[in-house]
Structure 1
């Protein structure tokens, strides 16, 4: 059986868990990282010598790095669908996955840490506004791309939507005022209609570090400790 090592509130693990559920795969979630530990064990070093999450073990095969895992699962278990058969369409999916990692992820995750992961008394309003503006400017590129298509590769959901779908959930659910992104918002609504997205991406993550920690601790019932 497929094993996923990580925790359900980690921004890098969520795309892997969502992918596995979109594909209908049976898997065991091995809770690791953060308060769950396990990364310093000899067993985990055999899976990922970097001692970071996520990682998977699929039979005798081990793999780490979030987007590499998403691609592998889609290629092996969703070929011709989530992993498009047409090489050019697949290249577009891959392009937006890379763009998510190199452009969209960082301003959004920094905004998330500046708000949810910082105590209210310690927050820097000017920094939050600057990060919000940077995130909006970056996501405006995606908004333009989605002007005439339902998903990043056209009218069908593919692996190209997965990393960005995780990014925009955090962007739309931190407590800041956001300028409109009509096409991204419509795409987000379409993603929100997918059961696996609702169950594994759209998690309430609290409004401050204490709430975040409590919610993450409560997710222990979802995996194997």
Structure 2
């Protein structure tokens, strides 16, 4: 039995839960993190010294880092549709997952934390403007990609890249920010909303 450690309100935990749902994997979830068990407890630190969720336990195997967990879960049958076996197709999925984790997350971090988490309590207006501009720039890049593919991030098939980026798009749409008109993003979001797992792990109360 797979065990996922982490609170559902975490966007990174929801990546993993959505992946499990798409793959019809059985798992149990233990709530750790803000509002639940502290990730600074020795028992958790023994699994992930970074004190961050999610963590996956698969028997004796322990894995942390959300995108790595998603890749692990989808790395073999029945996960080939989400994470293709063909080398170049898989590399394309990896590229967009890494872009989400590095470039896109860096863009929104200051603004999102200030507006949604009140951290810092008195944000710097210049840094807010820079974060907003960077966030919108990266979503514009994603929109251009979606205009090229006409469907999902790597083409006509739904993949792991759409799980991690779909949650990011939802966060952008739910955060108070001056957004440019990006019809390709709107169409993409509507397409994702047709998936039952998206409704469970993206469109509820979590930004």
| Rounded Cα–Cα distance in structure 2 between residues aligned with 1:45 and 1:35 | 17
Matched with 1:165 is 166
TM-score (norm. length: structure 2): 0.90
Higher relative contact order (CA 8 A, sep 6+): 1
The Cα shift of 1:127 comes to 4.0
TM-score for both structures, normalised by structure 1: 0.83
Q: Which residue of 2 aligns with 1:198?
A: 199
Q: Which moved more, 1:131-140 or 1:71-80?
A: 71-80
CA RMSD of aligned residues (A): 2.1
Kindly tell me the number of residue pairs found equivalent between the two proteins: 206
Pairwise CA distance, 1:77: 4.9
- 1:47/1:145 Cα in 2 relative to 1: closer, same or farther (>3 Å)? same
Rounded Cα–Cα distance in structure 1 between residues aligned with 2:77 and 2:167: 20
Q: State whether residues 108 and 170 of structure 1, in contact with CA within 8 Å, keep that contact through their aligned partners in structure 2.
A: no
1: CA distance between counterparts of 2:116 and 2:38? 25
SS of match in other structure, 2:106: helix
In 1: Cα distance, 2:95 partner to 2:200 partner? 26
Counterpart of 2:155 in structure 1 is 154
* SS at structure 1 position matched to 2:10: coil
Provide Cα deviations, 1:114-148, integer angstroms capped at 9, x if missing partner: 211128x8455554333221101112111111113
Q: Which residue of 2 aligns with 1:221?
A: none
SS in 1 for 2:74: helix
* Pairing 1:43-192 to 2, within 5 Å after superposition: 43-118=43-118, 122=122, 126-149=126-149, 150-192=151-193
CA distance in 1, matches of 2:57, 2:33: 16
* 2:27 aligned residue: 27
